[in-house]
């Protein structure tokens, strides 16, 4: 697909602020892919499309999940926005015909993470958090780490996300816990 086709698709599905975030994520993903030897084209596409299902209201997310035959677990039912990664992967597969499993998987897991993440999954997870418009306590540390040691950056990113989720009073998704524990398995810091 051409870049303009992807941008047109995004414009139909997300607002302008999220479009800027998605473009920033795509460019950050390309820089990380270049640093770690991953496929830059796949990083760009996954970064650009990662939030295609974000920003929709809860009932619309539930309706789309039903249409795409995506089951919603108990944690997702309490925080329905968590399904936007899995839903986004299903949407772009069906609507855009993108069937590259690396791209789909990077989009699918950019929200919760998971145990045993691939390099492209890590790149999209990190790029989503550190793209230039992001501004939260700890982001500069993650930005620095991202280009030195992506696994150390993942650990720090997961710590920050887990802290944010707890602060908002939501339950942690089991995939996030497993992802964090994967990066701390040799220490006693697991959740």
Q: Tens of pLDDT along 60-106?
A: 999 999 999 999 999 999 999 999 999 999 999 999 999 999 999 99
d(CA 30, CA 11): 21
Contacting residues for 84 by C-beta, under 8 A, at least 6 apart: 51, 53, 54, 56, 61, 111
Quick one: tokens of 120?
A: 């492209």
Q: How far is CA 67 from the centre of its chain?
A: 22
The SS3 assignment for 133 reads: coil
pLDDT at position 137, please? 87
Q: How far is CA 77 from the centre of its chain?
A: 19
Mean pLDDT over 121-138 rounds to: 95
Q: What CATH code is assigned to 3-183?
A: 1.10.3210.10
Residue 48 burial (CB < 10 Å; 0-12/13-18/19+)?
buried
- In this prediction the pTM is 0.94
> Nearest-CA neighbor of 54 among 26, 14, 93?
14
Across all residues in the chain, what is the average pLDDT?
A: 94
pLDDT at position 171, please? 92
Domain boundaries, the chain: 3-183
Tens of pLDDT, residues 157-184: 999 999 999 999 999 999 999 999 998 8
């Amino acid at each position: 697909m051409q870049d303009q086709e992807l941008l047109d698709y995004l414009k139909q599905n997300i607002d302008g602020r999220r479009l800027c975030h998605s473009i920033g994520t795509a460019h950050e993903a390309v820089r990380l892919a270049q640093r770690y030897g991953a496929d830059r084209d796949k990083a760009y596409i996954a970064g650009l499309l990662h939030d295609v299902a974000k920003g929709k209201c809860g009932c619309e997310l539930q309706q789309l999940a039903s249409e795409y035959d995506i089951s919603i677990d108990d944690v997702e039912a309490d925080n329905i926005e968590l399904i936007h990664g899995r839903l986004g992967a299903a949407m772009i597969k069906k609507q855009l015909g993108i069937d590259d499993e690396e791209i789909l998987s990077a989009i699918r897991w950019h929200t919760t993470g998971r145990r045993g993440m691939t390099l492209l999954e890590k790149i999209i997870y990190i790029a989503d958090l550190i793209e230039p418009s992001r501004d939260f306590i700890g982001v500069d540390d993650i930005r620095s780490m991202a280009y030195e040691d992506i696994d150390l950056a993942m650990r720090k990113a997961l710590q920050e996300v887990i802290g944010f989720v707890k602060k908002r009073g939501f339950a942690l998704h089991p995939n996030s816990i497993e992802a964090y524990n994967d990066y701390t398995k040799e220490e006693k810091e697991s959740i």
